[in-house]
Structure 1
Amino acid sequence: MKKTPAEKELDGFLARFEPEVEALGRAAVSWMRQRLPGAVEMVYDNYNALVVGFGPTERVSDALFSVALYPRWVNIFFLSGAALPDPGKRLKGSGSTVRSLTFKKQEELADPTLEHFVALAVSMDRDAQPMEKARKERLLVIKSISPKQRPRRPL
């Protein structure tokens, strides 16, 4: 299947990371795509990180999750994570809204905790249910590219 210009651009953003982080980031994005097949994917090549958000529309405020690549790890953010029950205190973050899980190796994506929190977040969000049926093909949108960025590889 031929890649769209946005997919080619995302490939270029990912290629700037160390091979291990790039592979982990690709695996995390693929993992989310499998679970949210109708999601709109919004790419932000920000100052601090490369972020791929997942939501039912192109509005960032509707996003449920994001995968963020940093020079040494990948975070999966739950954008309404503070509302998720987390008796084991696995989710990181102390703000009023967002929580995250950090991954340094691809094998960690198989942790059932990730699957649990993603399913829980989708079930708790009324707008997320139609996301899975929203479109037959995924939509990838490059939302912003910061002209100034921190290095994508460790110094």
Structure 2
Amino acid sequence: MTPEEQLDLFIDRFAPEVAANARAALAMVAARLPGAVRLVYDNYNALAIGFGPNEHARAIVCSIALYPRWASLFLTNGPSLPDPEGLLEGGGNVVRHVKLTAALIGSDAVAALIDAAAASVKLPIDPAGEGRLVIKSISAKQRPRR
């Protein structure tokens, strides 16, 4: 099974609306960050797909996390990102998130947040990179996905 097929199986475990939003968000982020390495973590609480310049989690620019009832976009350097629409949630020192809806996924405001996060990191994503998908971990024990 290819990593892409494995990721599709992971996403299929979620409710149809969550899965559809996640797939749309993943396509949108991939289009904004060409060449990004996608790191997949099928953890206890969520399925997370990070986008970064390499296979190191510390270099991730942003990630999509799927939970049983929603998907969120997490952004590195969230506290310092310009957010005129007030979409960012959370109080973390490094990462903030946007709870994704179908309407938000294609919005200019979310695109601007991704672009700002990509511009804020020390190690940028090479747009000419190979953009491979890497399954980093699969937890043996997981919370229900629906």
User: What TM-score does the superposition give when structure 1 sets the normalisation length?
Assistant: 0.88
Equivalent residue number for residue 17 of structure 2: 20
Describe how 1:108-127 pairs up with structure 2 within 5 A.
108-127=104-123
- Contact 2:76 / 2:117 at 8 angstroms: preserved in 1? no
Structure 1, residues 85-140: CA drift from partner, whole Å, max 9, x if none? Answer: 33553210101111010013x23212211011111111222422x4222x2x3200
Stretch of structure 1 that moved more, 84-93 or 73-82? 84-93
Structure 1, residues 9-65: CA drift from partner, whole Å, max 9, x if none? Answer: 101101101111111111111111111110000000011111000000000001010
- How many Å separate the matches in 2 of 1:51 and 1:117? 18
User: Which structure's CA Rg is the greater one?
Assistant: 1
Equivalent residue number for residue 98 of structure 2: 101
SS of equivalent residue, structure 2 residue 31: helix
- Percent identity between the two aligned chains: 45
The one of 58, 61, 68 aligned to 1:64: 61
Which letter does structure 2 place at the counterpart of 1:92? E
User: What TM-score does the superposition give when structure 2 sets the normalisation length?
Assistant: 0.93
5+ residue gaps, structure 2, are none
- Contact 1:92 / 1:101 at 8 angstroms: preserved in 2? yes
Equivalent residue number for residue 39 of structure 1: 36
SS of equivalent residue, structure 1 residue 131: coil
5+ residue gaps, structure 1, are none
The one of 126, 135, 138 aligned to 1:131: 126
Q: Does 1:78 align with 2:75?
A: yes
- CA RMSD of superposed structures (Å): 1.4
Q: Does 1:29 align with 2:29?
A: no
Stretch of structure 1 that moved more, 84-93 or 46-55? 84-93
SS of equivalent residue, structure 1 residue 31: helix
